[in-house]
């Protein structure tokens, strides 16, 4: 068999963790090879070894059957290996063209020769259908465009082996579709692609073969055509995954959370991001606010939680007005908040796990006396939550949040917010960027909260999540609620119409 | 250079391997810990700085270079107990400006304004010490120090407010405050407390001089029947107490937890209900107060001590707080040691004048050593690689250090 890259029996250790344990990956010429695994399964590490960012302790890498040593990304580049990282490596105030040639500039007597570079870039983008204006500034273009710039960067360097690290995590559904097409075109032109993901639908659609990792170990490689989503997920997680959320009939009680005529200003225009929004969440009910990203969801949440000022309206928890309360007072009154961006808002990445878990409690008598923190109590508390919520980390409570995997970071936030024993739990995109195992887990936790009689407000962009988890769906479009639906009586298509703004009904409170 | 490094690290690990099993593992952990790595990077950068100083000595005066280097190394010790006392005296303001910069840094702020805070604190202390003679004796120096602390705090408050409410970057505003402080101090000294014959600030009243705190029984040289006393006084004790207090605040209290949280991540702190504006302002006030107190401690030291010169130059002690904090890894205890080290080198450098070195060369050498010391950041990334390299040489596989650690799943892979 003609393998362009072979990674044989790779072992890579970090202090406290074996990231890759005897992993083998063989890439055929011209194929799209998916690399599947949960968060923290070692996918990114394996690809970083191939790209020269890490060096393996054991095992060998072969290019075209010849053993090679890849000590740094330059070596990888010389071998024709290119990588698009999950977080793009672009200079934000450079143009697309400047970014593409960065590090591989054509020069004459020390002066840049941009014309030749431009010609090549234009030629490449025509060849592969990667439409992007070479002169636009990176920070002005969409994430999808930025990704194309990254792909062009690899093509410009004549890379034959392309690595994509979770390329679809940041894209909108339309962009994902386009990206799948681009990837297939590239493969057709003879490029070999490794594509890291934990989204099974994408693998079924685009990949030829799939290698599965679990907890750093090699599980197997399968032909995608002869497998099913269910088999893949079982290989990945090691048990059967239930794709549908199991939940009992709900019996909502009295309203717990009430919002009246909320108006929140937009940060980048004079228009209001949230306009006269009113709704109620009752005891024992999951209300979901669905909508396309950027229709005022973030501003709504920031207004509700007190993180940014509101222009008008009133907010109540159990009949008590919290409109003018500070963030901490709202928390104390019974509001928990799983934020949209766990790195920006949810965690202090340089703090340890235990310090993060007490983030909203450190000032209570349980955790301090006379201003001195009781670190032993904090550790005990952290151990309790770690046990209860199965948060995995290298060094237990002492682990820096930064060094934990995304799924476990999210679990830590969920643990902290749920243990707060709130009346109303506001969960904003709680499963963003997580693997199926973690998603299943977090959905279970939300439903458990509901069953305990808490009110849950879920803000989600994922239609599957909206349909599966919620008891009631409110659709937000351009800052206004345009529909109040029950998932059993609606379809994804109808939901889509409301979300796109082509249909609306009066929403009664 | 590399061989030296290897020798340095190899030696410590070789010694380790002779120790009995259990404690050896623990020690290995210690040597692999980040704390040790950082500290050894500091020590190593000091060595590089010293070697660079040696090169300058060779360039300026080859015949006496080695002798001069010896004098620098002997530092304050070359003149006995008094010299040691002088080292501690000059270390006192450095500890406080170092704490000022380090404390701000731990809370995510760059306090470049220690020079201004320092000189304003010093001027206030001298002003009170010279003019407010009606204050009863045991309280006079305390009031003067308190005044210095408050004035320093005020000089930190302004950039703090600007940062918290107007989003003005503290580096810019503290630099500006340095110059405002310098000229204000010059104006105040010239107008109210100027000794025009000496062209210095007046001597403070004896009641405003810091007590010796028993240190006069330790740091003196016997000269016939009389004692040649060092200038060192209770100031060094106050500085050490402050270092301990800052250490406790940063590491043990909810207040420190809040300040650090704001430094690491302002958004998440706000999310957690911490008043992040208040934290920024308080951080800057405390940083300023520490530097101001440093000014008070330096200038309230009686006849043999320093007095304020009216010059258009920013206070050295303020700027040296930055390398002190860097070298001390912003850790209050580390800062105490790095301040004493830098003071030691400075005092030693001054004795170079007994040889044929021009005073400017001495300043250059000291500056080189100090600024190379600040390169510890660079060595911090270099050293672990060497340690890892040596580790693989010394411990064959299977006996690896990882063996002692628990291998749990699910770290960032």
The CATH number linked to A187 is: 3.40.50.300
> In Å, how far from its chain's centre is CA A43?
15
Distances in Å between the alpha carbon of A468 and those of A120, A240, A286, A475, A492?
Answer: 48, 18, 11, 15, 11
Are residues A231 and A323 both part of a single domain?
Answer: no
Cβ(A303)–Cβ(A262) below 8 Å: yes
Q: Do B411 and A41 touch (CB under 8 A)?
A: no
Query: Tokens 């940014």 appear where?
Result: A308
Q: Is the pLDDT of residue A9 over 80?
A: yes
Contacts of B274 in chain A (CB under 8 A): 328
Rounded to whole angstroms, how far apart are CA atoms A260 and A244? 33
Are residues A77 and A159 both part of a single domain?
Answer: yes
| Facing A17 at nearest CB: one of B252, B260, B408 | B408
Contacts of A45 in chain B (CB under 8 A): 413
Q: Is the pLDDT of residue A503 over 50?
A: yes
Residue A505 lies in a domain: no
Are residues A228 and A290 both part of a single domain?
Answer: no
Rounded to whole angstroms, how far apart are CA atoms B153 and B114? 11
Query: Which residues, numbered 106 to 135 in chain B, qualify as contacts with chain A under a Cβ-Cβ cut-off of 8 Å?
Result: none
Q: Do B255 and A371 touch (CB under 8 A)?
A: yes
Residues comprising chain B, all counted: 413
pLDDT for A459 equals: 94
Contacts of A360 in chain B (CB under 8 A): 272-273
Closest to A389 (Cα-Cα) out of A444, A337, A336: A444
What lies within 8 Å, CB to CB, of B309 at 6+ separation is B199, B200, B201
Q: Beta strand pairing status for B200-201 and B194-195?
A: antiparallel
| Facing B254 at nearest CB: one of A43, A373, A402 | A373
Contacts of B411 in chain A (CB under 8 A): 14, 16-17, 19, 40, 393-394, 399, 403-405
The predicted-structure confidence for A218-273, as pLDDT tens digits, reads as follows 999 999 999 988 888 888 878 776 667 777 777 888 999 999 999 998 876 678 88
Min Cα distance A138 → chain B (Å) is 25
Q: What CATH number corresponds to the domain at position B330?
A: 1.10.3470
Residue A244 lies in a domain: no
Residue A509 lies in a domain: no
Are residues A338 and A430 both part of a single domain?
Answer: yes
Are residues A282 and A329 both part of a single domain?
Answer: yes
Residue A508 lies in a domain: no
Overall pTM > 0.80: no
- Going by pLDDT thresholds of 50, 70 and 90, the confidence category of residue A378 is very high
Are residues A211 and A313 both part of a single domain?
Answer: no
Closest to B127 (Cα-Cα) out of B190, B39, B78, B49: B190
Are residues A278 and A151 both part of a single domain?
Answer: no
| Facing B408 at nearest CB: one of A16, A45, A349 | A16
Residue B265 lies in a domain: yes
pLDDT for B34 equals: 65
Residue B4 lies in a domain: no
In the structure encoding, which two tokens stand for residue A489, read together?
């009586």
Cβ(B271)–Cβ(A302) below 8 Å: no
| Facing B408 at nearest CB: one of A351, A392, A402 | A392
Are residues A231 and A340 both part of a single domain?
Answer: no
Contacts of B253 in chain A (CB under 8 A): 371-373
Contacts of A394 in chain B (CB under 8 A): 408, 410-411
Min Cα distance A185 → chain B (Å) is 30
Q: Do A18 and B264 touch (CB under 8 A)?
A: no
Q: Is the pLDDT of residue A161 over 60?
A: yes
Residue B48 lies in a domain: no
Min Cα distance A488 → chain B (Å) is 35
List the single best residue of A348, A362, A441 to mutate versus B (max B Cβ within 10 A). Answer: A348
Lowest mean pLDDT among A233-237, A355-359, A364-368, A478-482: A233-237
Residue A250 lies in a domain: no
| Facing B270 at nearest CB: one of A14, A327, A393 | A327
Q: Is the pLDDT of residue B250 over 50?
A: yes
The predicted-structure confidence for A74-128, as pLDDT tens digits, reads as follows 899 999 999 998 778 899 899 999 999 888 888 888 888 888 889 889 998 888 8
Min Cα distance A392 → chain B (Å) is 5
Are residues A215 and A277 both part of a single domain?
Answer: no
pLDDT for B25 equals: 60
Residue B410 lies in a domain: no
Angle of helix B376-394 versus helix B316-327 axis, rounded to 10: 20
Instruction: Identify any residues that bridge with A457 across adjacent strands, giving them in sequence order.
Output: A287, A426
Residue of A nearest to B397 (CA): A57
Q: Provide the phi-psi class of A166: left if phi over 0, else alpha when psi is between -120 and 50, else beta.
A: left
Interface ipTM = 0.77
Is the CB of B304 inside 8 Å of chain A's CB atoms?
A: no
Q: Is the dihedral of CA A429, A430, A434, A435 positive or negative?
A: negative
The predicted-structure confidence for A74-88, as pLDDT tens digits, reads as follows 899 999 999 998 778
Residue B14 lies in a domain: no
Is the CB of B217 inside 8 Å of chain A's CB atoms?
A: no
What lies within 8 Å, CB to CB, of A93 at 6+ separation is A137, A138, A139
Are residues A318 and A207 both part of a single domain?
Answer: no
Residue of B nearest to A15 (CA): B402
Contacts of B412 in chain A (CB under 8 A): 40, 402-405
Asked which of A195, A211, A237 is the last residue of a domain, the reply is A237
Mean pLDDT of A349-376: 94
Q: Do A368 and B405 touch (CB under 8 A)?
A: no
Are residues A306 and A166 both part of a single domain?
Answer: no
Rounded to whole angstroms, how far apart are CA atoms B141 and B136? 10
Cβ(B337)–Cβ(B287) below 8 Å: no
Q: Do B411 and A363 touch (CB under 8 A)?
A: no
pLDDT for B17 equals: 42
pLDDT averaged over every residue in chain A: 88
Asked which of A171, A204, A237 is the last residue of a domain, the reply is A237
| Facing A368 at nearest CB: one of B254, B271, B274 | B254
Closest to A383 (Cα-Cα) out of A401, A396, A400: A396
Residue A506 lies in a domain: no
Q: Is the pLDDT of residue B408 over 50?
A: no
Are residues A296 and A192 both part of a single domain?
Answer: no
Instruction: Please give the tally of structural domains in chain B.
Output: 1
Min Cα distance B112 → chain A (Å) is 24
pLDDT averaged over every residue in chain B: 83
pLDDT for B210 equals: 92
Q: Do B407 and A216 touch (CB under 8 A)?
A: no
| Facing B408 at nearest CB: one of A346, A347, A394 | A394
Cβ(B324)–Cβ(B96) below 8 Å: no
Residue B311 lies in a domain: yes
Q: Which residue has the higher pLDDT, B119 or B9?
A: B119
Chain A / chain B CB contacts < 8 angstroms: 116
**Percentage of chain B lying above the pLDDT 70 cut:** 82
The predicted-structure confidence for B109-167, as pLDDT tens digits, reads as follows 999 999 999 999 999 999 999 999 999 988 999 999 999 999 999 999 999 999 999 99
Distances in Å between the alpha carbon of B404 and those of A112, B32, B266, B412?
Answer: 54, 12, 37, 20
Cβ(B38)–Cβ(B384) below 8 Å: no
Rounded to whole angstroms, how far apart are CA atoms B328 and A378? 28
DSSP A31: -
Domain extent, residue B185, equals 86-352
Cβ(B341)–Cβ(B47) below 8 Å: no
Domain extent, residue A8, equals 3-237
Cβ(B16)–Cβ(B27) below 8 Å: yes
Residue B124 lies in a domain: yes
| Facing A18 at nearest CB: one of B252, B268, B407 | B407
Min Cα distance B413 → chain A (Å) is 5
How many C-beta neighbours within 10 Å does residue B103 have? 28
Instruction: Please give the tally of structural domains in chain A.
Output: 2
């Amino acid at each position: 068999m003609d393998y362009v890259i072979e990674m044989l029996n790779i072992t890579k250790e970090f202090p406290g963790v074996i990231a890759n344990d005897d992993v083998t990956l063989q890439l055929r010429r011209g194929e799209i090879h998916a690399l599947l695994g949960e968060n923290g399964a070692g996918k990114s590490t394996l690809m970083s070894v191939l790209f020269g960012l890490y060096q393996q302790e054991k095992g060998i890498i072969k290019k075209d059957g010849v053993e090679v040593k890849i000590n740094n990304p330059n070596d990888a580049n010389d071998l024709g290996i290119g990588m698009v990282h999950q977080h793009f490596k672009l200079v934000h105030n450079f143009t697309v063209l400047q970014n593409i040639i960065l590090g591989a500039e054509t020069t004459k007597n020390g002066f840049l020769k941009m014309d030749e570079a431009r010609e090549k870039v234009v030629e490449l983008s025509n060849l592969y259908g990667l439409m992007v204006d070479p002169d636009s500034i990176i920070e002005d273009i969409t994430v999808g465009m930025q990704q194309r710039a990254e792909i062009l960067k690899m093509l410009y360097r004549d890379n034959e082996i392309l690595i994509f690290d979770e390329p679809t995590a940041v894209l909108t559904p339309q962009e994902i579709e386009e990206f799948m097409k681009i990837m297939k075109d590239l493969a057709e032109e003879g490029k070999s692609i490794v594509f890291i993901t934990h989204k099974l639908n994408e693998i079924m659609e685009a990949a030829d073969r799939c290698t599965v990792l679990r907890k750093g170990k090699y599980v197997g490689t399968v032909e995608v055509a002869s497998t099913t989503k269910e088999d893949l997920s079982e290989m990945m997680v090691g048990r059967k995954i239930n794709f549908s959320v199991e939940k009992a009939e709900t019996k909502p009680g009295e309203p717990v959370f009430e919002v009246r005529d909320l108006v929140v200003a937009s940060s980048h225009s004079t228009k209001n991001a949230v306009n006269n929004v009113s709704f109620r969440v009752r005891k024992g009910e999951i209300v979901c606010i669905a909508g396309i990203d950027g229709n005022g969801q973030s501003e709504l949440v920031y207004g509700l939680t007190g993180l940014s000022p509101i222009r008008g309206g009133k907010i109540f928890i159990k009949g008590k007005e919290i409109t003018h309360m500070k963030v901490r007072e709202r928390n104390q009154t019974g509001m928990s908040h799983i934020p949209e961006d766990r790195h920006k808002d949810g965690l202090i990445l340089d703090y340890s796990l235990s310090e993060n878990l007490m983030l909203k409690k450190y000032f209570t008598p349980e955790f301090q006396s006379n201003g001195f923190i009781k670190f032993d109590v904090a550790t005990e508390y952290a151990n309790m939550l770690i046990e209860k919520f199965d948060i995995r980390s290298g060094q237990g409570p002492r682990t820096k949040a930064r060094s934990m995997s995304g799924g476990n970071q999210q679990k830590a936030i969920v643990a902290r917010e749920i243990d707060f024993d709130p009346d109303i739990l506001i969960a904003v995109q709680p499963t963003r960027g997580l693997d199926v195992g973690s998603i299943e887990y977090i959905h279970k936790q939300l439903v458990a909260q509901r069953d305990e009689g808490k009110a849950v407000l879920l803000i989600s962009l994922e239609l599957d999540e909206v349909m599966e988890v919620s008891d009631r769906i409110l659709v937000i479009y351009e800052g206004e609620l345009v529909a109040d639906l029950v998932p059993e009586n609606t379809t994804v298509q109808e939901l889509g119409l409301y979300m796109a703004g082509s249909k609306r009904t009066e929403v009664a409170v | 250079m590399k061989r030296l490094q290897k020798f340095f690290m190899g030696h410590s690990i070789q010694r380790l391997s002779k120790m009995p099993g259990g404690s050896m593992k623990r020690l290995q952990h210690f040597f692999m810990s980040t704390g040790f790595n950082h500290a050894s990077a500091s020590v190593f950068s000091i060595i590089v700085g010293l070697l660079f100083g040696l090169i300058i000595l060779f360039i300026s005066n080859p015949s006496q270079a080695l002798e001069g280097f010896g004098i620098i190394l002997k530092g304050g010790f070359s003149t006995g107990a008094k010299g040691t006392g002088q080292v501690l005296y000059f270390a006192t303001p450095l500890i406080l400006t170092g704490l000022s910069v380090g404390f701000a840094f731990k809370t995510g702020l760059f306090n470049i304004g220690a020079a201004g805070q320092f000189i304003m604190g010093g001027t206030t202390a001298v002003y009170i010490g010279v003019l407010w003679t009606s204050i009863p004796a045991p309280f006079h120096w305390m009031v003067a120090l308190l005044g210095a602390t408050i004035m320093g705090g005020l000089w930190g408050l302004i950039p703090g407010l600007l940062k918290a409410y107007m989003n003005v970057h503290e580096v810019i505003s503290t630099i500006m405050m340095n110059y405002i402080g310098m000229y204000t101090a010059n104006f105040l000294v010239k107008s109210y407390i100027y000794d025009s014959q000496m062209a210095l600030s007046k001597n403070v009243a004896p009641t405003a001089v810091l007590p010796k705190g028993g240190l006069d029984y330790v740091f003196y040289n016997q000269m016939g029947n009389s004692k040649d006393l060092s200038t060192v006084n209770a100031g060094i004790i106050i500085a050490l107490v402050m270092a301990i207090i800052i250490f406790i605040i940063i590491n043990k209290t909810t207040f420190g937890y809040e300040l650090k949280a704001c430094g690491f991540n302002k958004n998440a702190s706000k999310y957690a209900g911490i008043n992040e504006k208040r934290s920024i302002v308080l951080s800057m006030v405390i940083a300023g107060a520490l530097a101001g107190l440093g000014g008070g401690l330096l200038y309230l030291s009686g006849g043999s001590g320093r007095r304020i010169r009216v010059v258009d130059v920013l206070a050295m002690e303020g700027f040296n707080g930055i390398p002190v904090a860097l070298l001390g890894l912003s850790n209050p205890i580390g800062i105490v040691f790095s301040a004493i080290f830098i003071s030691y080198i400075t005092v030693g450098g001054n004795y170079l004048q007994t040889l044929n070195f021009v005073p400017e060369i001495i300043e250059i050498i000291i500056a080189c050593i100090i600024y190379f010391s600040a390169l510890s950041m660079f060595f911090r990334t270099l050293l672990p690689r060497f340690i890892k390299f040596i580790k693989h040489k010394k411990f064959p596989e299977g006996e690896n250090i990882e063996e002692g650690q628990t291998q749990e799943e699910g770290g960032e892979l």
